[in-house]
Amino acid sequence: MTVRNAEQAQPNEFEFSITRTFDAPRELVWKAFSEAERLAQWWGPKGGKIRVAKLEFRPGGIFHYAMGLPNGGEMWGRFIYREVVAPERLVYVNSFSDANGGVTRAPMNANFPLEVLNNLTFAESAGKTLLTIRGQPLDASAEELQTFKGFFPSMQKGFGGTLDQLAEYLAKA
């Protein structure tokens, strides 16, 4: 069975969500997501080193990157931007990829969905920025949906580390 839209299957059951408040103005947090030299300094898991292969920050554009692994290898990922509404909303499809930017299966689990639709909102209040990230699989099988849901604790930890790095970056910017 293929579910076209996870929200239609069971609202919110297959949606991953995380929020974080940053002690930085929204414009600066937005720049951290929209400029290659800034993304390279914080994106990815703690201790990971990101190399930006390409960044076209516009609807239809791509963020294609390689993450250095402890064994010396690389793991590739990509975003295809759907909506860019500066500085309040960013929507993109995220996937693992190869060095050429083609979609590939996740190296940690072959049943992880090929693509995840991510909606990010940036809200400013009193000089601080509330970032909300919501993600759900696209065109996923029932097994892929369950695998995605099973990864929520790992994704909380991974995104938590990434957002910790963003906070550290913003404190120095």
**pLDDT tens column, 52-86:** 999 999 999 999 999 987 778 899 999 999 999 99
CA 13, 16, 21, 25 torsion: positive or negative?
negative
Q: What global pTM score does this model have? A: 0.90
Lowest mean pLDDT of 1-5, 132-136, 160-164, name the range: 1-5
Rounded CA-CA distance 61/127 in Å is 30
The answer to whether residues 88 and 122 touch, using CB atoms and an 8 Å cutoff, is yes
Rounded CA-CA distance 135/84 in Å is 16
For the chain, domains (ranges, CATH) are: 2-172 (3.30.530.20)
Helix/strand/coil for 147: helix
pLDDT band of residue 18 (cuts 50, 70, 90) is very high
